[in-house]
Amino acid sequence: MKITKIKLYRIRSGNLGEKGARFGESQYWGGGWQTGSHIANPMSVYPKYARVRTLWMGPGQDPYAIEIFTDEGVTGCAVNYGGGHFSCAVIEQHFSRFLIGQDPFNIEMLWDQMYRSTMPYGLGGVTAMAMSGVDLALWDLMGKALGQPVYRLLGGQTKETIPCYATTHPDLVSHWKGSGFLGVKIAAPWGMADGRMGLIKMQKCLEDCRSALGEEMELMVDCYLSWDIEFASRLAERVSDCDVKWFEDPLQNGWAEHSNAELRTRINPIQIAIGNLEFDVKAFAAILAARACDVIQPEMQWCGGLTAVRRIAAMAKPYDVPVIPHGSGVYNYHFVQSNLNSPFAEYLSVGDGTGVRPIFEAIVGEPLPVNGHVTLSTNPGFGVELNRDLLEPIDF
């Protein structure tokens, strides 16, 4: 079997998600609480851009779809909610030379060639997002060629169903009580840029969330790189009675192994969960070696795909650090299903943030949580197909 062709698509605006920066909405969220609410973010230090994320995000946050064809008629596909036209250009104008005419089963070699060839200009960002799309499409193709779901290719079924936690806005937490989800993660509205009043507001926010959830559900906080060591440490002391499970990505990435290692010792027993915006596999190795986290969270669609996450998981295992991929969707679920060191997955609520609905509008057949648990089918590949009504071929 040989790869004969690669097709790349932009995603047209639909009703639910993946509209991206071109349509004034962030990543795959399609509006709703993620783009219409005040949420602390890396640009919160600049008042002009602090109110909502759509004021500063760029086309690197646009989605794209990829389809890989072979001479035996077997195809593989994936939708990535990051990289946009930039990543498609990398695939078309660079990665295609390593793919066309090659055996799609040689995923390790193909991944390594993409990785090494982008060292002079990549090692992260849109190049890693381009690698992710190719890698996920190759895994989908391999599963379809063998008539097996991807999780069986990775090691099989390690759990009957996948427990999930739900991510939403703090104002919407009460909708998830008694939903069957193991917990709720909130997007922090305030951070370092808000000073002392930010501390006071976050304390009240977490106290209200714990009251709304009761004692049965976990409570986590997504800080989106908008805190610093002082803010996180002082808040941890203020909310010691709220039983917060983790602070996620509190500090800026890039030097995470040092600053988060210090923070981790300060805020115990609250855990540190990081990895969302780390890209190079070597960065995850440094984080783990420095004991800088309690939970590692690679973003499968940004850090190099399933192949990269498998490498990160192998590094995390000796440290007994659980791997909970950042974000939501079918690709993460197949990994979590097959990995003993991934006890649960994230489900990201979209739209009004009060219920379960598909994350990806550009995918047909996405598995959804029922009573807080995802059950995967035995359909080959990732078990999903592209929604061709929303695809526009990209011409270069």
Cα diameter, the chain: 63
Q: Which of 169, 175, 258, 326 is catalytic?
A: 326
Cα angle 27, 219, 233 (rounded to 5 degrees) comes to: 90
Active site residue 326: yes
Specify the amino acid at residue 144. Answer: K
Are the C-beta atoms of residues 248 and 221 closer than 8 Å to each other? yes
- Which helix (H) or strand (E) covers residue 248, if one does? strand 246-248
Are the C-beta atoms of residues 281 and 311 closer than 8 Å to each other? yes
Rounded to the nearest angstrom, the gap between the alpha carbon of residue 210 and the centroid of all alpha carbons in its chain is: 25
Query: 205: Cβ–Cβ under 8 A, 6 or more apart, which residues?
Result: 170, 186, 188, 189, 190
Alpha carbons 267 and 376: distance in angstroms, whole number: 36
Helices (H), 155-297: 195-213, 229-238, 256-267, 281-289
Task: Tokens 């596909």: give the residue.
Answer: 77
Alpha carbons 360 and 191: distance in angstroms, whole number: 29
Query: 187: Cβ–Cβ under 8 A, 6 or more apart, which residues?
Result: 33, 34, 37, 39, 40, 167, 168, 169, 170, 222, 224
Alpha carbons 75 and 73: distance in angstroms, whole number: 6
Q: How many residues are there in the chain?
A: 396
For residue 362, give the DSSP letter: T
Q: So which residues are the catalytic ones?
A: 326
